[in-house]
Amino acid sequence: MSMDVYISAEEIEARVKDMAQEITQWIGDDEVLCVANLKGSFMFFADLIRHLRSQKVKVDFIATESYVGTQNSGQVRILKDLQHTCRGEKLLVVEDIVDTGLTLSKVLDHFLTMHCPSEMKVATLLDKPSRRRVEMKADFVGFTIEDAFVVGYGLDYNEYYRNLPYIGILRNTEER
């Protein structure tokens, strides 16, 4: 396998700071529960919430599963739900990547049904609209990318490469 740097650490840092400013404006003086979809979003989530300029930010985590290797299985399972309730509060769902939209669609439906936020928005580091299988649009987008298998900055290939400080395109995987 080989890897090409697709989005540098410096580009990511600058865009995350800009996104945090946009999200801070949306939060205003309200309370917000920021939810990371584990595992892929953990680096983006940590950097993003660190730059939010609000004192009324709570954090929580949800865990889902939909990928096997480089392939989206089409089946989305919620492995871990929220510990906090966000009934009547703003909810920010933080994703690493919106690809087919299946995972995010399931998560948003779950939150609307089970947690009843007053308002819900989605922040994603990466958006890959060419692979969309359900109508889905994030409210805050870091980068719109081509149809390539990307790793790094939290995203993985079979649990590897999450620790890279940049986004790379993984080439020559046996499954592609």
Residues 6+ away with beta carbon under 8 Å from 42: 36, 154
Q: How many domains does the chain have?
A: 1
Alpha-carbon gap, residue 130 to 135, rounded angstroms: 12
**55 in any annotated domain:** yes
The CATH number covering residue 101 comes to 3.40.50.2020
**46 in any annotated domain:** yes
**1 in any annotated domain:** no
- Per-residue pLDDT of 23-81, as tens digits, reads 999 999 999 999 999 999 999 999 999 999 999 999 999 998 875 555 555 677 888 98
Domain span at 105: 7-149
- Per-residue pLDDT of 90-138, as tens digits, reads 999 999 999 989 889 999 999 999 888 999 999 999 999 998 999 989 9
Is the pTM higher than 0.95? no
The interaxial angle of helices 42-50 and 9-27, nearest 10 deg, is 60
User: What pLDDT score was predicted for residue 176?
Assistant: 40
On the CB side of 133, CA atoms within 13 Å amount to 12
**165 in any annotated domain:** no
User: What positions carry a catalytic annotation?
Assistant: 99
**29 in any annotated domain:** yes
**161 in any annotated domain:** no
How many other C-beta atoms can be found within 10 angstroms of the C-beta atom of residue 102?
Answer: 20
**172 in any annotated domain:** no
**158 in any annotated domain:** no
